[in-house]
Amino acid sequence: MIRTLLKEVKEYKAASIVTPLFMILEVLMETVIPFLMASIIDKGVETGDIHHIYKVGGIMVVAAFIGLVAGMAGGWYGAKASAGFAKNLRQAMFERIQTFSFANIDHFSTAGLVTRLTTDVTNIQNAYMMILRMFTRAPISLICAMAMSFAINARLACIYLVTVIVLGGILAFIMTHAARYFDQIFPKYDELNESVQENVSAIRVVKAYVREEKETSKFRKASENIYRLFVKAECNLVYNAPLMQIAVYTCILLISWLGAKMIVADSLTTGELMSLLTYCMNILMSLMMLSFVFVMIAMSSASAKRVAEVLTESSTLKNPEHPVEEVENGSIEFKHVDFAYKAGSSEPVLKNINLSIRSGETIGIIGGTGSAKTSLVNLISRLYDVTAGEILVGGRNVKEYDMEALRNQVAVVLQNNVLFSGTILENLRWGDEHATKEECERVCRLACADEFIQRFPDGYETHIEQGGSNVSGGQKQRLCIARALLKKPKILILDDSTSAVDTATDSKIRKAFREEIPDTTKLIIAQRISSVQDADHIIVMDEGTVNGFGTHEELMETNTIYREVYESQTKGGGDFDEKAGE
């Protein structure tokens, strides 16, 4: 895990190396100053040697200035290294997510990925900053102060040694106990983010059903879960401060009491006692800093695991060693295809699919809800891999193609149409970023979108709000169809993409397809038989199997499901979820 994360330090390695060096230099200067101060008192103040005071005082000023500069440099480089590390982590995670297959994305929730990219990375950034600065400074300061204390008076320094051992053990126990709660806290952030995401994205539904109180209650519950765990963790950590105070004051009292006796007995000087008291603060403040570092490490360890999970997740789909870069044509063939979303599933979603579709054909796909129509077409562009059998596109197994080359030739208009914030032209150019305005207008005419775009005051420069909230469902569908056509694909898949379009417009779109893109293989998933009855062939799906395959006339004669639904729809209102006679 640590190695995976540290790979992302990259160009900030130099800053990460010099930060501890500056912190060591700062500590050395701070350690020297009390020793020099003792010299001023013992050899300058008590003897009246003003020259010695000036000389050593000057050295102290230089040491203090060097320590100041080193501390500032350590802070600057530490901030640069930690912020850069966080930036690289976010970038690496986002790039890794872009390579994920749908199966990988199903493994992580959207809210979980957002939490990992934000809260978890911020925790790692703060921990990295503390490790570079405090985790270097505290042990070095502790060791140097302890060494100087033993050099001055080993008997009194033993008080520090005993205190450090006892206090270190107690702090380690507290940190270990608190870490258990931090491991539970950050997954709870996923629930909190999920609650917010669902509420904001579905705010119209929430208000339409007057469910604000219910959503508020759900958010309150997620927030209270985090609150309770943080309280439990902090209740363990709260003992840090009083323990440190007890240790500091106990050491000061013991050193002052025993040190005064030694001064009276002439075995210790006043300057040495002052130095020991200063080193006492250095030692115990170093322990305090270490405790802060351990708290941050305890908090960030859970975050580090979650970030590493994303960075080490490998896509379930991979390109072959020597991929085919060109799709010859739009022919499609399914050979004994089985498919399940989860490996080892006892019941596959698709079972023994055998189909042969010639390039340029128009194929209708109909069936009831849950009959696996979308699952069938998702396999063509290799959004998922088949569990058994094979799929051929252009005469080759889809696994032989470079995935980018294959998907560039298979345009999919999904059930859930997505538009991005920006102008209509910018949204259309997702299909081809170099497309001219004339090309965009042409595909919009094919998709019957040009007619409503021209009515907008700004035409093709009209701004689309996030998610396409300022256009209707039918307009959104037509824009998505136009965007897909701009790819000039060899295979065009419309997944129930004209459900919000009126029958007359639906007919115009299908007519434009027949006349303008005759060489493109068109797969149209629909609930209305009228949307597919003039297709070259129609596939009837039923519970993950092909129940029928043929023309409208052939299916009317041979397929009971198709005939019953057609008759119910012509009588009014029927679809594949309401079969005739039921």
Q: What is the CATH number of the domain that holds 72?
A: 1.20.1560.10
User: What pLDDT sits at residue 581?
Assistant: 40
State yes or no: pLDDT of 280 exceeds 90: no
pLDDT digits (tens, 9 = 90+) for 432-463: 888 888 999 999 998 888 989 999 998 999 99
Look at residue 99 and tell me if it is in a domain. yes
Q: What is the mean pLDDT of residues 397-409?
A: 91
Q: What is the mean pLDDT of residues 404-426?
A: 86
Structural domain count, the chain:
2
The residues near 445 (Cβ < 8 Å, ≥ 6 apart) are 512
Do 299 and 379 belong to one domain? no
User: What pLDDT sits at residue 98?
Assistant: 86
Residue whose entry in the numeric block shows the structure tokens 């469902």: 473
Residue whose entry in the numeric block shows the structure tokens 């009317």: 556
Confidence of residue 578 (pLDDT cuts 50, 70, 90): low
State yes or no: pLDDT of 262 exceeds 70: yes
Do 296 and 354 belong to one domain? no
Do 272 and 347 belong to one domain? no
Do 296 and 382 belong to one domain? no
pLDDT digits (tens, 9 = 90+) for 147-165: 888 888 888 888 888 888 8
Do 125 and 47 belong to one domain? yes
Confidence of residue 376 (pLDDT cuts 50, 70, 90): very high
Which of 312, 347, 375 is a domain's end point? 312
Mean pLDDT score across all residues of the chain: 85
pLDDT digits (tens, 9 = 90+) for 316-355: 788 888 899 999 999 999 999 999 887 767 788 999 999 9
Length reported for the chain:
582
Query: In terms of residue numbers, what domain contains 480?
Result: 332-571
Which of 312, 343, 360 is a domain's end point? 312
Do 377 and 231 belong to one domain? no
Confidence of residue 79 (pLDDT cuts 50, 70, 90): very high
Do 308 and 336 belong to one domain? no
Look at residue 470 and tell me if it is in a domain. yes
Do 306 and 387 belong to one domain? no
Do 133 and 94 belong to one domain? yes
For residues 13 and 85, what is the distance between their CA atoms, to the nearest angstrom?
9
Cβ-contact 547, 559 below 8 angstroms:
yes
Average the pLDDT over each of 119-133, 242-256, 552-566 and give the range with the smallest value.
242-256
The CATH number of the domain where 523 resides is what? 3.40.50.300
Cβ-contact 117, 163 below 8 angstroms:
no
> 428 — phi, psi (to 5°)?
-65, -35
Look at residue 253 and tell me if it is in a domain. yes
pLDDT, greater one: 427 or 283: 427
What six digits make up the tokens of 179?
């870490």
Nearest to 331, CA basis, from 283, 281, 267, 396: 396
Do 133 and 67 belong to one domain? yes
Confidence (pTM): 0.71
Average the pLDDT over each of 179-193, 259-273, 373-387, 481-495 and give the range with the smallest value.
179-193
Distances 419 to 136, 429, 442 between C-alpha atoms, Å: 50, 12, 19
Which of 312, 340, 370 is a domain's end point? 312
Confidence of residue 85 (pLDDT cuts 50, 70, 90): very high
Look at residue 252 and tell me if it is in a domain. yes
State yes or no: pLDDT of 14 exceeds 90: yes
Look at residue 320 and tell me if it is in a domain. no
pLDDT digits (tens, 9 = 90+) for 355-369: 999 999 999 999 888
User: What pLDDT sits at residue 582?
Assistant: 43
Question: Where on the phi/psi map is residue 347: left (φ > 0), alpha (ψ -120 to 50), or beta?
Answer: beta
State yes or no: pLDDT of 510 exceeds 60: yes
Do 291 and 368 belong to one domain? no
What six digits make up the tokens of 214?
């219910």
For residues 345 and 556, what is the distance between their CA atoms, to the nearest angstrom?
35
Beta bridge partners of 523: 363, 493
Question: What secondary structure letter does DSSP report for 314?
Answer: P
Look at residue 182 and tell me if it is in a domain. yes
Q: What is the mean pLDDT of residues 529-557?
A: 90
Q: What is the mean pLDDT of residues 476-498?
A: 88
Look at residue 319 and tell me if it is in a domain. no
What six digits make up the tokens of 360?
């340029």
Q: What is the mean pLDDT of residues 195-201?
A: 76
For residues 93 and 112, what is the distance between their CA atoms, to the nearest angstrom?
12
Do 445 and 504 belong to one domain? yes
Look at residue 43 and tell me if it is in a domain. yes
Question: Where on the phi/psi map is residue 461: left (φ > 0), alpha (ψ -120 to 50), or beta?
Answer: alpha
